[in-house]
Every structure is written in C-alpha cells, then in structure tokens.
Structure 1
Amino acid sequence: MTSGIQFDPEAIRKLAEILRETDLTEIELSEKEARIRVARILPAVTVAAPVMQAAAPLAALPAAAPVAAAPAADPSAIDPKNPGLVTSPMVGVAYLSPEPGAPQFIQLGAKVAQGQTLLLIEAMKTFNQIKAPRAGTVTRILIETGTPVEYGEPLVLVE
C-alpha cells in the first residue's frame, strides 16, 4: 500500500467475518479515494457421479436379469408423441436414485402414480425432480445414471 491510505485492520477482519457468516466470496467498499476488497477462495468441490456397477452382478443373476438391462433401450424406437413418454425439460445430468448407493426411484415394470418422482436431473448444481406425467407402468428406462441429457431427450416411458 504505497498510496498512503491507511485501512483499519479491525474493519478488514469484520469484513472477512461477514464473508464467512454469509457465504459470500467477496465484498468491496469504496469511499472517496480509498477502496478495499476482501475476497476468499472457496476450495474446489469435486462431485463424483454415481457409477453403475450392474455389469458384473447381472451376469450372475438368474433368467430375469435381461429385463434389468433395459436402461440401454433405443430411444429412437419410441413414438415421440406417446403420452407416456417422459422427456427431459432441461439440459443436465440424469440420476435414477437420490444419492449414490440408494435404491433407484423406479425399476422396469414398476407401477407409478401420477406426480411420482421418476429421476433427478442436475442442472447448475440443482437437483430437479422429474415426475410421472400419469399413472402407469414403467416399460422403458432410456437413460443410465450419470448420463448427460439434452432438452427434449426421451428419458422414461410410462404406459
């Protein structure tokens, strides 16, 4: 600070305290020729996407296992005007369970009620619930957990 302007160290400490209390990352004040900016750098947060570990266990399952392999269904084989087709309302990353290791919201063949949560789409660090447009049976799951999805992309078929 070669400008000759003196800053009150206690005022700087109070500004830093405000940053911590409010979860702000910076505060800047200016008065006449003086300007003070207090900023903090937050540690980078690494979010690990849930990993599908179904490949090895499916091989060991009895004959019912091929039904569980349906999440890899081809979305192009579905009529886009089907009233039970649930499409992505946003760009993001789709998750079939509320957290890693938790049971999925839906399974193939499961009965769902209108408004029931089918999956989550994370967009801009916000998890958005995607709900069933009507009651019915889940006949196709067209995405896998951790799959990036686009607006309008088919996700689930409820018939």
Structure 2
Amino acid sequence: MTKNNHENDVAFIQALAELLNKNDLTELSVMREYGEDDSLEVRVVKQATIVAPAPASYAAAPVSTAAPAPGAPIAAEPSADPANHPGAVPSPMVGTAYLAAEPGTEPFVAIGAAVKEGQTLLIIEAMKTMNHIPAPKSGTVKRILVDDGTPVEYGTPLMIVE
C-alpha cells in the first residue's frame, strides 16, 4: 500500500466516523475494494454507556398499542423488554423504518391484523434502498414498536407477531 492510499484511507475512515456521529448511529461497517486481491474492511463503532437495564434506544422507542377494553386487566407485558419476547421481529439492518409504502397510504399491517409468513410488515430504507421486512411466521400483530419514519439499528425490535 502506498503512502497516498494510506492517507486516503485515513480520510475515508474519518469521513465514516463523521457520518456515524451525524446520523446518530452506533455502528457502521464498510468494505472498500481496490483491486482483485486488495481491499480495506472498516468497522467504526461508537461505545455508549448504558445506565439503565434496558438500552436507551428501546426505552425511547414509541410503543403503539391498542387501547384495552373498559374493565379489562392491563397486561404487564408492555413494560417487559420487547427484544426478549419470542414473537419479536428484529431489524435486520440499520436504517429508517416506514410502516407504509408511501406517505399518506395505508400501513402494511395494523395491530390485531393476521399476517402470513413472508408477508411484508414494513420497509426499512437503507442507503436509498427500500428493504421489505417479511413476517418470520404466520400469526397476529400484537404490538408495533416503532413509529413511521423512526431510525432503527440492527437488532431493534420492530413488531411482536404471535
């Protein structure tokens, strides 16, 4: 590797770190190929100190739930960490979650909707690409854990499907 490549790589890594901070991300991974057998793989991670038992991104995420029927007992489940729920649908990538195909249109699913395995639950936009997130199994949408236009990270619970 020449000195010029080294300086370009340092500038590239600094630009990635700035992108990480500017977009409030915690991790960014990129592979840069120079030729057939020459590449650079970079992973930039921002360490965060967690003082609460649940990560701040989960605690701050808005929770959309149906209103309970009058007189119905209130379940303790909403206070539990949704990431540990067996029906949790985690985000497979970092991006922005959208509940509908376009602004102003009906969402893909709603709370209480029956879904089939492979049916689109929502879209995550990553690098100007719209990625359809399919239902991992057939069931009923019990909770929607993100609002339309919410930034999400890898592993963030998006919905609960039982």
TM-score norm. by structure 2 comes to 0.51
Residue in 1 aligned with 2:119? 116
Q: What residue in structure 2 maps to residue 66 of structure 1? A: 67
Q: Which runs of 5+ in 2 are unaligned?
A: 1-65, 69-76
Q: Give the superposition deviation at 1:78.
A: 2.5
- 2:98 corresponds to 1:95: yes
Aligned positions of 1:2-41 closer than 5 A: none
TM-score, normalised by the number of residues in structure 1: 0.52
Instruction: Name the residue aligned to 1:80.
Output: 84
Give the AA of the match of 1:114.
E
The answer (yes or no) to whether the contact 1:74–1:142 under 8 Å persists in 2 is: no
Q: Over residues 93-121 of structure 1, what are the superposed CA-to-partner deviations in whole Å (9 max), with x where a residue is unaligned? A: 00000000110000000000000000000
Q: State the one-letter code of the partner of 1:153.
A: T
Q: Which structure 1 segments of 5+ residues have no match?
A: 1-64, 68-72
How far 1:80 sits from its partner (Å)? 1.9
Contact persistence 1:75–1:154 (CA under 8 A): no
Q: Offset of 1:81 from its aligned partner?
A: 5.4
**Matched letter for residue 142 of structure 2:** T
Query: Residue deviations 1:102-145, cap 9 Å, x none?
Result: 10000000000000000000000000000000000000100000
SS of 1:66's partner is coil
CA distance in 1, matches of 2:124, 2:83: 22
Say how many residue pairs are matched: 89
| Deviation readout 1:36-72 (Å, 9 max, x if unpaired) | xxxxxxxxxxxxxxxxxxxxxxxxxxxxx736xxxxx
- Please provide the CA RMSD for this pair: 2.0
| Residue of structure 2 aligned with 1:154, choices 136, 153, 157 | 157
Q: Please tell me the residue identity of whatever aligns with 1:122.
A: E
Letter in 2 for 1:155: L
